Amino acid sequence: MAQTPGSEARTGLKLISPTAIYVILLLAVPLATVLMYSVMTGGRGNVSLPLTFENYTELASKSVYGYLLLKSLMVALIVTAITVLLAYPVAYFVSFHVKPERKSLWLFLITIPFWTSYIIRVSLWFVILGYDGVLDKTLMALGIMDTQLNFSSYGIPAIIFVLAHAYAPFAVLPIFVSLEKVDRSLLEAGQDLGESRWVTFLRVTLPLSMPGVIAAALIVFIPTVGDYVTPKLVGDGKQPLIANFIETQLLKLQDFPQGSAFAVVSMLMVAFVSVLFVLANKRFIGGQK
């Protein structure tokens, strides 16, 4: 069964080639095109030479772009923080207080909402929270309120609430996985040495589960920062975030160079924050030793 390294490499490359060719043509090439467009000149629906950095200087000079990026970033970070904080006790409960044979069932219950249509979940919040929605009508019918609360018109807070609900199940699994890896004998040792349960949690369990917390944060942050549907439906469309803005620039205004530059900058912003998360994680693992 001896295979020479050369033939192994060839077989491997041959095997991966269909998938690799697919992603190179349909992912790498389009992303490269966007990058190229972002340094070209052009107006409605066309691009042309010469190459220029004007699109980027335009982004830097007009505060509307910076405001939009910052707003989207803040929304995504707040949603991430809420989601992770709410998910941690749930993951902790399933990992530490549920019988091993029942764990799968609990995880299954937690993941089901995530696998049911995202559009329907978000639209349901619109039906519940919106003008003439279930919440307002019910409160009024019961005589608790006499005016419409219309929570969905609250813009950013409503968007944050709906996003935090939509991505909640994402956060439980990674935290659960890292909690499962925590060596239970360390906890017993901590308590045998006289630490209280709370101190043991803070000094042993929490640091050891940080990789899962960071993974959860990343898994929530990336889709929320690029979410399109929620701002459109729940925020009354008056609070566009990155994805809605890219749509306006690329499709409605057909400004390919400017839209591409904005897409590149938002991609860089997402990448930058993600790298920060990963570095924070490395530092945490390093600090353990």
Partner 1 sequence: MKKAPFLRSYTLFYLLFLYSPIILLPIFAFNDSKVVAFPLAGFTLDWFREMLSDQNLRIAAKNSLIIALSVASVSTILGIFAARASVRYRFPGKAPLMGLIMLPLVLPEMIIAMALLVVLLSLNVPLSLFTVIIGQVLITTPFAVAILTSAFQSLDKSLEEASMDLGETAWSTFRLIILPLVMPGIMASFLICFTISFDEFIISNFLGSGQPILSVYIFGQFRFPAKVPSMLALGTVLVCFSIILLGIAEYMRRRGIAKAGGKDSGGFL
Positions in 166-225 near partner 1 (CB under 8 A): 168-169, 173-174, 176-177, 180, 218-219, 222-223, 225
Residue placing its CB nearer to partner 1 in the complex, 61 or 202: 202
> Contact between 42 and partner 1 (CB under 8 A)?
no
DSSP state of 241: -
Longest dimension (CA), the chain: 81
> Contact between 268 and partner 1 (CB under 8 A)?
no
| Other Cβ atoms within 10 Å of 132 Cβ, number | 10
Note every long-range contact of 154-159, with CB atoms under 8 Å and residues 24 or more positions apart, other chains counting. Answer: 155/235, 155/236, 155/238, 155/239, 156/71, 156/75, 156/235, 156/239, 158/129, 158/234, 158/235, 159/75, 159/230, 159/231, 159/234, 159/235, 159/239, 159/241
In the block, residue with structure tokens 């980027």: 56
> Contact between 287 and partner 1 (CB under 8 A)?
no
> Contact between 118 and partner 1 (CB under 8 A)?
yes
Contact residue for partner 1 among 182, 204, 256, 265 (CB under 8 A): 256
Residue type, 132: D
Tell me whether residue 235 is exposed, middle or buried, using C-beta atoms within 10 angstroms of its C-beta: 0 to 12, 13 to 18, 19 or more. Answer: buried
Residue placing its CB nearer to partner 1 in the complex, 208 or 263: 263
Residue placing its CB nearer to partner 1 in the complex, 68 or 107: 107
> Contact between 161 and partner 1 (CB under 8 A)?
no
Residue placing its CB nearer to partner 1 in the complex, 134 or 285: 134
Residues 163 and 220: beta-carbon distance below 8 Å: no
> Contact between 85 and partner 1 (CB under 8 A)?
no
> Contact between 113 and partner 1 (CB under 8 A)?
yes
Helix, strand or coil, per DSSP, at residue 7: helix
Contact residue for partner 1 among 77, 226, 253, 284 (CB under 8 A): 226
Minimum separation from the CB atom of position 245 to partner 1 (A): 10
Stretch that binds partner 1, among 3-11, 49-57, 61-69, 199-207 (CB under 8 A): 3-11
Q: How far is CA 265 from CA 36, 60, 218, 250, 256, in A?
A: 13, 10, 19, 14, 14
Contact residue for partner 1 among 82, 259, 261, 273 (CB under 8 A): 259
Residue placing its CB nearer to partner 1 in the complex, 99 or 238: 99
DSSP string, 175-203: HHHHHHTS-HHHHHHHHHTT--HHHHIII
Minimum separation from the CB atom of position 60 to partner 1 (A): 20
How many residues would you count in the chain? 289
Stretch that binds partner 1, among 63-71, 152-160, 165-173, 184-192 (CB under 8 A): 165-173
Stretch that binds partner 1, among 49-57, 62-70, 106-114, 183-191 (CB under 8 A): 106-114
> Contact between 272 and partner 1 (CB under 8 A)?
no
Enumerate residues 6+ apart whose C-beta is below 8 A from 280.
214
Contact residue for partner 1 among 82, 158, 200, 229 (CB under 8 A): 229
Contact residue for partner 1 among 92, 151, 265, 281 (CB under 8 A): 92
